[in-house]
Amino acid sequence: MGEGHARCLAIEDSPTGAQAALAAGMTVVGFCGAGHIVDRAAHGDKLREIGVHHVAMAFDQILVPMAAAR
């Protein structure tokens, strides 16, 4: 895509994926709204422990100002 990792946003529900995105230098939103996640609060806590920048319980909590990102 031609952008550096620091300008990328990763939305991850997987702790492993979140760790990889953080290691790559991306901004990471931990997503807890997937149907397979039973205990959303505990999952959010785990993602926070890993170091994600934000946690969202639903997609409508993820707002990205696209014009500002360009």
Write 53-61 long-range contacts (CB < 8 A, 24+): 53/27, 53/28, 53/29, 54/28, 54/29, 54/30, 55/29, 55/30, 55/31, 56/11, 56/29, 56/30, 56/31, 56/32, 57/32, 57/33, 58/33, 59/31, 59/33
pLDDT for 41: 95
Domain that holds residue 27: 5-69
The reported pTM is: 0.81
Number of domains the chain is built from = 1
Residue 61, domain CATH: 3.40.50.1000
The model's pLDDT over 1-57, given as tens digits with 9 standing for 90+, comes to 566 777 788 999 999 999 999 999 999 999 999 889 999 999 999 999 999 999 999
